[in-house]
């Protein structure tokens, strides 16, 4: 209980300090640069992948095509954006979320930079708006036009935004109250922003001009054993059982992928499984190289993390082990966007999967079930089914 009160106090303290910074910064004079546009997006890698294909429509729109457009993004996906979206933007500004949250000097300098650039228009594209991050950048921009969306209907978040940060905007675009898969949520926002229907059906990333040395000459399966949140991580012991069975019953090689934060999990798996057909690449690739690695795989096996979104964007089948959190918003992939995404959930969800619309309302904000109740044998059974489909498809495509 003490920890909860401290967390609430800390959030209030950070908000108050940030607003004082914004006030002080705004006292200085600056010039508004005509035809300058700031796009703000500060969430995670998967969120960026589900958004990035809409940037081109902004760049090509009759209203904005002559604007100097700057993207303010989360530095964790810098590599991807500067490669895939360099034609959509004139400039990039990268924010380190940890530094912005914990380092007052960094936060003040960053806010001041946004203010001094004098943007005419600022657009925060995030559905689940964050008061400390995107909302505060919109406010300090002091842009003549400040656009966002009404945002998530989570009662706590909606109340906070209504009291604290909705007033930072000159225009809030309405959001459909029913749950939408995030790709469709982004489409809804950009169609309202640009006032037209957009001809786009799925995410995509062309990796053809990315150079990377593949770690094996064999057909391989990429496994992402880590995740950003602990409750989304299926245990290393479970992964080791599935990987051991794959190596025993197929001729595929296994490549472990992820950031350096996943190294401990990968080490546990490698130690448990052993053998020359398992390659640990965690922490050894850039994000861009990792994307190319996924594009060269036959299959991806992952927790609910960036790995599945990369796989869908480069058209590689995936098996996702999920606790069901944000059901309907980030999982499962609608078949019309990507039909080769396969999910396995805890029994409480999988037993009712035929009632998906009911489950989506129940789990749209959080997943309460233990991901490690999912048995390795069930995952292996699903992997075998997917591999059989891949083999059949390859046989049909062979002349």
- Where residue 122 sits, what CATH number does that domain have? 3.40.50.2000
Segment 230-236 mean pLDDT: 93
* CA 304 remoteness from chain centre: 10
Domain boundary among 159, 194, 229: 194
Tell me, what DSSP letter sits at residue 181? -
Q: Is residue 213 a part of any domain in this protein? A: no
**Domain shared by 172 and 244, yes or no:** no
**Domain shared by 248 and 297, yes or no:** yes
**Domain shared by 242 and 164, yes or no:** no
Look at strands 318-321 and 299-303 and give their pairing.
parallel
pLDDT for 141-187, tens place per residue?
999 999 999 987 665 566 667 678 899 999 999 998 888 999 999 99
Segment 384-390 mean pLDDT: 95
Can you give the residue range of the structural domain that contains 57?
A: 30-194
pLDDT tier, 324 (very low <50, low <70, confident <90, very high otherwise): confident
Ordered DSSP codes for 307-368: HHHHHHHTT--EEEE---TTBTTTBSPPTTT-TTEEEE--HHHHTTGGGHHHHHHHHSS---
Residues of the chain with pLDDT > 90: what percent?
A: 77
Q: Is residue 351 a part of any domain in this protein? A: yes
Q: Is residue 4 a part of any domain in this protein? A: no
* Angle of helix 236-249 versus helix 376-397 axis, rounded to 10: 40
pLDDT for 78-107, tens place per residue?
999 999 999 999 999 999 999 999 999 999
Domain boundary among 140, 159, 194: 194
pLDDT at 216: 76
pLDDT for 8-19, tens place per residue?
567 788 889 999
Q: Is residue 211 a part of any domain in this protein? A: no
In the predicted model, is pLDDT for residue 310 greater than 80?
yes
**Domain shared by 61 and 101, yes or no:** yes
**Domain shared by 239 and 344, yes or no:** yes
Can you tell me the distance from the alpha carbon of 386 to that of 389, in angstroms, rounded to the nearest whole number?
5
**Domain shared by 117 and 160, yes or no:** yes
**Domain shared by 189 and 225, yes or no:** no
Can you tell me the distance from the alpha carbon of 272 to that of 265, in angstroms, rounded to the nearest whole number?
11
Please enumerate in sequence order all residues whose Cβ is within 8 A of that of 65, keeping only pairs 6 or more positions apart, or say none.
Answer: 59
pLDDT tier, 394 (very low <50, low <70, confident <90, very high otherwise): confident
**Domain shared by 62 and 187, yes or no:** yes
Can you tell me the distance from the alpha carbon of 223 to that of 273, in angstroms, rounded to the nearest whole number?
14
Domain count, the chain: 2
pLDDT at 345: 94
Q: Is residue 3 a part of any domain in this protein? A: no
pLDDT at 154: 62
Q: Is residue 371 a part of any domain in this protein? A: yes
In the predicted model, is pLDDT for residue 192 greater than 80?
yes
**Domain shared by 36 and 128, yes or no:** yes
Domain boundary among 194, 229, 251: 194
**Domain shared by 102 and 177, yes or no:** yes
**Domain shared by 174 and 248, yes or no:** no
**Domain shared by 225 and 334, yes or no:** yes
């Amino acid at each position: 209980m003490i920890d909860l009160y401290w967390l609430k106090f800390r959030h209030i303290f950070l908000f108050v300090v940030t607003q004082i910074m914004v006030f002080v910064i705004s006292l200085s004079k600056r010039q508004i640069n005509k035809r300058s546009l700031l796009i703000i997006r500060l969430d995670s890698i998967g969120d960026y992948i589900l958004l990035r294909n809409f940037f081109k429509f902004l760049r090509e729109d009759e209203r904005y095509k002559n604007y100097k457009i700057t993207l303010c993004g989360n530095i964790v996906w810098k590599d991807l954006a500067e490669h895939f979206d360099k034609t959509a933007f004139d400039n990039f500004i990268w924010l380190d979320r940890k530094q912005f949250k914990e380092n007052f000097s960094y936060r003040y300098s960053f806010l001041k930079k946004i203010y001094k650039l004098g943007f005419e228009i600022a657009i925060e594209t995030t559905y689940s708006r964050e008061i400390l991050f995107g909302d505060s950048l919109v406010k300090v921009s002091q842009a003549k036009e400040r656009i966002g969306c009404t945002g998530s209907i989570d009662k706590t978040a909606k109340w906070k935004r209504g009291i604290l940060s909705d007033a930072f905007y000159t225009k809030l675009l309405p959001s459909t109250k029913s749950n939408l898969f995030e790709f469709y949520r982004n489409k809804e926002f950009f169609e309202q922003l640009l006032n037209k229907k957009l001809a786009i059906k799925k995410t995509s990333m062309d990796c053809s001009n990315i150079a990377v040395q593949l770690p094996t000459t064999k057909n391989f399966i990429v496994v992402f054993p880590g995740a950003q949140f602990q409750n989304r991580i299926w245990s290393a012991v479970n992964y080791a059982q599935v990987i051991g069975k794959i190596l025993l019953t197929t001729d595929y090689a296994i490549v472990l992928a992820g950031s350096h934060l996943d190294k401990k999990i990968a080490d546990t798996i490698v130690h448990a499984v052993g053998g020359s057909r398992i390659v640990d690449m965690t922490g050894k690739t850039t994000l861009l190289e990792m994307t190319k690695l996924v594009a060269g795989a036959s299959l991806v096996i992952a927790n609910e993390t960036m790995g599945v979104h990369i796989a869908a964007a480069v058209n590689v089948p995936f098996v996702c082990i999920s606790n069901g959190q944000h059901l309907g918003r980030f999982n499962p992939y609608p078949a019309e966007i990507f039909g080769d995404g396969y999910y396995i959930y805890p029994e409480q969800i999988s037993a009712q999967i035929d009632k998906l619309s009911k489950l989506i309302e129940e789990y749209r904000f959080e997943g309460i079930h233990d991901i490690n109740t999912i048995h390795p044998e069930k995952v292996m059974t699903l992997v075998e089914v997917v591999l059989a489909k891949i083999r059949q498809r390859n046989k049909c495509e062979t002349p």
